[in-house]
Amino acid sequence: MPISPPVGPEVDTIPRPLPARVKISGRYVELEPLHRRHAPDLWRAVQEADDSWAYMGYGPFTSADAMDRFVADFSTTHDPIAWAIRPTSTGEVSGWLTLMEIQPKNAAIELGNIWFGPKLQRTKAATEAIYLLLKLAADDLGYRRLVWKCNALNAPSKRAADRLGFVYEGQHRMHLTVKGRQRDTDWYSIIAPEWPRCRAALVAWLDAENFGADGTAKRGLAEIRAAISL
């Protein structure tokens, strides 16, 4: 009797919905579909942030007009789809992030183009902004594969992927040319069986009870995730 070759498990093949340009509200942040009206806030946010563009495919911006023209264009793309980040603590837009490389038939989607202004970095609002888009993709839209990728030299982005629970998959060598320089790309993912633990850890980390009076987290994400039994 002939032996059949191994094949992968059967999955739900119904294409996932495309993300909609809608406002998403959290406890510490509001995500608003990026719009040209956000450009003035973003121009203020980019001041003294030149180093933050080192691994981005665009920026830095040299004038308010340059920022305005970039936002006017970036806000109209269908893939990536960009959201402006408005922390409730300040009321001012101070960054953006996107869902991109959207593959409805494969139920795969990437969180990328993440830019946080200096005042947004390493805050509860920054972590919640990421959580809200991951939750939208995995829970609301049903994507099975959440992707994070970054320049292999981008140590902060790699640390962020580890912190959030993404699993390192490998490196695409000489993957891209960005701003005239060679880029090797590191790939990470959270897949459907891993998401419940990552989600529970993010929810627990963002809980107000996890923060002291000075705003410092009592427990880190990795510590919380390791303690969760599902």
Backbone conformation region of residue 26, classed left if phi is above 0, alpha if psi is from -120 to 50, else beta: beta
Other residues' Cβ atoms within 10 Å of the Cβ of residue 204: 17
pLDDT digits (tens, 9 = 90+) for 22-77: 999 999 999 999 999 999 999 999 998 888 999 999 999 999 999 999 999 999 99
Domain boundaries, the chain: 24-227
CATH number of 24-227: 3.40.630.30
Q: What is the pLDDT of residues 120-153, one digit of tens each?
A: 999 999 999 999 999 999 999 999 999 999 999 9
In whole angstroms, what is the distance from residue 96 CA to residue 114 CA?
6
The tokens describing 61, both together, are 């911006």
* pTM tops 0.85: yes
User: What are the backbone angles phi and psi of residue 190, rounded to the nearest 5°?
Assistant: -120, 125
Alpha-carbon distance 114 to 99, whole Å?
Answer: 10
